[in-house]
Amino acid sequence: MSTAIRKFAAFSLRWGLTVIVAFVFLFPLYWIFISSVTPKSTLFATPIDYFPGSFTFQNYVDLFVKLGVGEMAYNTMLITFFSLVVSVIFGVAAAYAFARFPSKGLTLAYVLLLFSTLIPGIITARPLYDFMRAVKLIDTISGLTILYASALLPFSVLVLHNFIKQIPISIEEAAEVDGANFFQILFRIVLPLMKPAVATISIINYITSLNEMFTPLFFSYRIKVLSVGITLVPRESSFELPWDMISTMGWFIIFPIIVFVLIFEKNIMEGIMAGGVKQ
């Protein structure tokens, strides 16, 4: 087999697999969007029309008017933003302490922090609810932010800790010899090197916060977020699900994630590929 044929075969195989994988991941997104803008009368037509000829945005209008999606989106973004900021700030601080100041006490704290992720949330829900009610944080933005951030912290610390361990400590020692203090080393030396990891953690935490459903459902009655809103879509009867409205609500949740990932795609790849620095 000639070199040209082998190159063409490799090219065809590579792009063929790329198209298949892209189709598997993108078709569900396409179908959710098409279901949200297809008139209900033609949504369940037989045979299935994958390229409908008529579109309507009435479902979006109905959700804004009847369900208050605008307020849900505002609450979701507010809670997600503050929980993201809190989890990243405390995650960086904790990860740096665990990585650079090893001791028996900190090692035990690190192990307990990671062990907390193994406990199902449903087990700690009742005592946590009693505590949050005692401090008057039930059904508040600040209470939900604390709960979101506390759930995001263990994974954030794990990833950031492993990343910091790969940064040569000799860089910080050299900066200390040159007269840099602790805060100058942390903010001018370590944090710039951690940018890919911080960006990756931010993206993962952002997606996790948007998808979180149990926490706002259990700890809040008045404050509604988008993930809970999908359960509040009005039904015509108890025997029929309004898939057009559910698809519309799903698109409200998916679209911010798509935009966020597209904007920070480069940082995701840098975070995945980071860690090649050696002593």
CATH number where 202 lies: 1.10.3720.10
Asked if residue 278 is part of any domain, the answer here is no
Exposed, middle or buried by CB within 10 Å (0-12, 13-18, 19+), for 50? exposed
pTM listed for this prediction: 0.80
259 and 127 assigned to the same domain: yes
139 and 217 assigned to the same domain: yes
Question: Of all residues in the chain, what percent carry a pLDDT higher than 90?
Answer: 13
More confident residue, 82 or 200: 82
For 121-135, the pLDDT digits (tens) are 888 888 999 999 999
Give the Cβ contact number of residue 120 at 10 Å. Answer: 8
Helices (H) and strands (E) in the chain, counts: 15, 0
**Last residue in a domain, options 56, 86, 103:** 56
**pLDDT number for residue 42:** 76
Q: How far is CA 124 from the centre of its chain?
A: 22
113 and 241 assigned to the same domain: yes
Asked if residue 178 is part of any domain, the answer here is yes
**pLDDT number for residue 274:** 52
Q: Is the model's pLDDT at 168 over the cut of 50?
A: yes
**pLDDT number for residue 278:** 44
180 HSE (CA, 13 A, CB side): 16
244 and 205 assigned to the same domain: yes
**Last residue in a domain, options 37, 56, 75:** 56
**pLDDT number for residue 149:** 92
**pLDDT number for residue 20:** 92
Place of tokens 């931010």: 202
Q: Is the model's pLDDT at 148 over the cut of 90?
A: yes
Asked if residue 279 is part of any domain, the answer here is no
Asked if residue 198 is part of any domain, the answer here is yes
The pair phi, psi for residue 48, each rounded to 5°, is -65, 135
The rounded distance, in Å, linking the Cα atoms of 103 and 108 is 8
Range of the domain at 4: 1-56
For 202-222, the pLDDT digits (tens) are 888 888 888 888 889 888 888
Average pLDDT, stretch 37-58? Answer: 78
For 218-276, the pLDDT digits (tens) are 888 888 888 888 888 877 766 777 888 888 888 888 888 888 777 776 666 555 555 44
Q: How confident is the model at residue 114 (pLDDT cuts 50, 70, 90)?
A: confident
62 and 180 assigned to the same domain: yes
Q: Is the model's pLDDT at 138 over the cut of 60?
A: yes
**pLDDT number for residue 78:** 92
211 and 96 assigned to the same domain: yes
C-alpha Rg value of the chain to the nearest Å: 24
Q: How far is CA 155 from the centre of its chain?
A: 12
| 229 in Cβ contact with 69 (< 8 Å) | yes
More confident residue, 94 or 1: 94
68 and 136 assigned to the same domain: yes
Q: How many domains does the chain have?
A: 2
Exposed, middle or buried by CB within 10 Å (0-12, 13-18, 19+), for 225? buried
**pLDDT number for residue 232:** 82
| 216 in Cβ contact with 99 (< 8 Å) | no
**DSSP state, residue 240:** B
**pLDDT number for residue 273:** 53
109 and 20 assigned to the same domain: no
28 and 108 assigned to the same domain: no
Asked if residue 46 is part of any domain, the answer here is yes
| 106 in Cβ contact with 97 (< 8 Å) | yes
Asked if residue 143 is part of any domain, the answer here is yes
For 72-109, the pLDDT digits (tens) are 889 999 999 999 999 999 999 999 989 888 888 888 98
Asked if residue 200 is part of any domain, the answer here is yes
**pLDDT number for residue 57:** 84
Asked if residue 230 is part of any domain, the answer here is yes
109 and 185 assigned to the same domain: yes
46 and 139 assigned to the same domain: no
More confident residue, 164 or 262: 164
118 and 45 assigned to the same domain: no
- DSSP run (H or E) holding 4: helix 3-37
